[in-house]
Amino acid sequence: MTALVLVSVTLVGIAATIVVLTHRPENQAIMLSVFGLALTVMFEVLQAPDVALSQLGVGAVVVPLMIMLTYRRVRRHAGEAESAASSQSEQPSP
């Protein structure tokens, strides 16, 4: 039991460190999901299945998904603004 706890806590530590050290937001969202899974395993090992279920749904699925969708939206927005500015400077047509 103690060995399982140690392994799961170590996994959480490693996954959390990788999340912090990942700089590109789209990669970070994926790593956040992995971190959420590691936390789920830890809660399960520590005999908190109720918390593990919430963590699995919210921490490993919904939050990374919202980050991913937000990031793609912001990037597309920036791309649109850029292309609009460049097309205006090249050819002043409507």
Partner 1 sequence: MTRGARTALFLVAAAVLGPLLWNVFHDIPAFGQIQHLYRDLAVRASLEQSTANVVSSINFDQRALDTLGEESIFVASVTGVMILLRPDSQERRYLPPASGAVLEAVRLVGYLMLPVTLVLGAETVAHGHLTPGGGFQGGVVLATGLHVLYVSGTYQALDRLRPIGSLDIGEAVGAAAFGGMGVAGMAVGGAFLFNLLPKGTLGNLFSAGTVPLLNVAVGFEIGCGMVVLLAQFLAQEITIAKKGRPE
75 binds partner 1 (CB under 8 A): no
Alpha-carbon dihedral sign for residues 46, 3, 21, 76: negative
Q: Which is nearer to partner 1, 5 or 14 (CB)?
A: 5
4 binds partner 1 (CB under 8 A): no
- Letters for 13-52 (x = contact with partner 1 by CB under 8 A, - = none) are -----------------------------------xxx-x
The residues near 84 (Cβ < 8 Å, ≥ 6 apart) are none
